[in-house]
Structure 1
Amino acid sequence: MNHSAHEPAAQDFWTELRATTQARIGLGRAGDALPTRRVLEFRSAHAAARDAVHQPLDAAALADQVETVGLGRPVVVASQASDRGEYLRRPDLGRSPADLSSIPRGTAEVGFVLADGLSPRALADHGVPLLSALVAQLGDTYSLAPPVIATQARVALGDHIAEAMGVQTLVLLIGERPGLSVADSAGVYLTHLPRPGRTDADRNCVSNIHPPGGLGYEVAARVVASLVGGARKLGRSGVDLKDTSRADALAAPSEILEL
């Protein structure tokens, strides 16, 4: 039976669906294996994900860019992980600070930490514009502390930093674990009344921030602003706190969210 007549139609079917997702679908076949082009695409994506994990963060260059946001010159701190290899082998060291004595203590309501996480590339690509969008959403309502940049950092390191800053609510921007579809996705973790010992159940996360393919900066900032407001009313963040930003938008038809 000749299948050649069906191949263009099948290809057109998958081409249309492929435009709606970053997942690998409809890859085709070459005998019992994948076509060479698809194998090379997979290897390229795998290499990009590995590179994103191991790429060192240029903290000095990032600090220069963060300073332009207008919150002051950021302090740079590190976790107890001495290098990238130890950071990957010992997640516990990435959750504990090496030295926080350089962080000035203040009375601001909201503090920002920019952490390299598992994708320093994501923080380098999205950290500053995402921080700018967050400041635009929160700056008129709350007092904001000078930001802190954290290297070799896991999410829980932010609790130690926030306690040193003296802030009531922590907004932590971090590079998310790279995948085979996206190597530079950023996330935001919100913790109200942060302190060492907080768990993931005490936090809220807004993830998949990497325009144009993922969540945009302004949309992510609106969600975070809604969560900050909700946390301060509720007195806590985490599993009991829900995002109401989309419900608020539905109540105002003139606002269009670009999801």
Structure 2
Amino acid sequence: MTNANAWDALRRFTNARIALGRAGSSLPTAPLLAFELAHAQARDAVHQPLDTAALAATLRAAGFDTLDVQSAAPDRHHYLRRPDLGRMLNDASEARLAEQAAANSDAPDLLFIAADGLSAFAAQRHVVPLLTRVRAKLRGLSVAPVVIATQARVALGDRIGELLRARIVVVMIGERPGLSSPDSLGLYVTYAPRTGRHDAERNCISNVRPEGLDYETAAFKLTWLLNEARRLKLTGVALKDHSGSLPAPDAGIIEA
């Protein structure tokens, strides 16, 4: 027999595991199975590889050019145990980006990087719908091809942006999965990216997904940060998010 919890009415306000009831001295079967499923989904999110071909095809169908790179971590085993390797490009990717930069004399204003991070699910599901909303708000900016990065940590964007001479880089990366959010996407914005940048020199927008920070709100906040980063020529702790609520539908990034 399951005994209800007096806090049951509070469950509609949170995804946290509260007021689950009790069966004897243990959890009822349903919430126990739900917990085990969430744990399995979180583990899968960490180990599932990013389908780069499918993501590239979807991005191209949406009108974005793409480039593929990989970090110096040769596989998931090394990626999880050697975070330093996830912050460096492998030799083939270094050469590919150097060729791309040589073929384009103009430095792009903006570079987006879609990275697997700790949840390939996040990049697979959320990058394209987010980028299509961001693109609608961009005005007067040159944008590089979207770089799809595997076995990637956030700081890998510094080297990619440095090679492509981008003024601002946005790393869209799968965040560490939780038991209620296996597909949360984080956005890390860095002005003048280069090897050796510190986390304090970035701005972060977290929990981008329909169940968290929805695409339209995330696109608005990202656009606001990009605008301010260009105006102030900085990102990080010196750039505070004062974007407020969503503006009128036609508001976007101002031209230089």
Instruction: Please say whether Structure 1 and Structure 2 have the same fold, judged by a TM-score greater than 0.5.
Output: yes
In the other structure, the counterpart of 1:97 is: 89
- Which residues of structure 2 form unaligned runs of 5+? 252-256
In 2, distance between residues paired with 1:248 and 1:70?
26
In the other structure, the counterpart of 2:151 is: 152
In 1, distance between residues paired with 2:171 and 2:110?
10
In the other structure, the counterpart of 1:186 is: 185
Report the TM-score, using the length of structure 2 for normalisation.
0.89
The 5 A counterparts of 1:186-225 are 186-211=185-210, 213-225=211-223
Report the AA paired with residue 226 of structure 2.
V
The 5 A counterparts of 1:8-87 are 10=5, 13-14=7-8, 16-72=9-65, 74-87=66-79
Report the CA distance shift for 1:214/1:248 in structure 2 as closer, same or farther (over 3 A).
closer
The 5 A counterparts of 1:115-126 are 115-126=115-126
Report the TM-score, using the length of structure 1 for normalisation.
0.88
Deviations 1:145-165 (A, max 9, x none): 111100000000010001111
In 1, distance between residues paired with 2:242 and 2:62?
27
In 1, distance between residues paired with 2:136 and 2:186?
18
For the pair 1:235 / 2:233, whether they are aligned, the reply is: yes
In 2, distance between residues paired with 1:182 and 1:247?
24
- Once the two structures are TM-superposed, the CA of residue 126 in structure 1 deviates from its matched residue by 0.7
- Once the two structures are TM-superposed, the CA of residue 70 in structure 1 deviates from its matched residue by 2.1
Find the residue that maps to 1:227 and give its secondary structure: helix
In 2, distance between residues paired with 1:68 and 1:191?
27
Contact kept, 8 Å, 2:203 with 2:237, in 1: the verdict is yes
In 1, distance between residues paired with 2:137 and 2:243?
12
Contact kept, 8 Å, 1:71 with 1:145, in 2: the verdict is no
Show structure 1 runs of 4+ deviating over 6 A. none
Find the residue that maps to 2:190 and give its secondary structure: strand
The 5 A counterparts of 1:244-259 are 244-246=242-244, 249=247
Report the AA paired with residue 159 of structure 2.
H
Find the residue that maps to 1:137 and give its secondary structure: coil
Aligned residue-pair number = 242
Report the AA paired with residue 181 of structure 1.
S
Report the CA distance shift for 1:147/1:37 in structure 2 as closer, same or farther (over 3 A).
same
Q: Determine which structure has more spread, i.e. the larger CA radius of gyration.
A: 1
In 2, distance between residues paired with 1:205 and 1:219?
14
Percent identity of the aligned residues? 51
Cα root mean square deviation, aligned? 2.1
Contact kept, 8 Å, 1:87 with 1:152, in 2: the verdict is yes
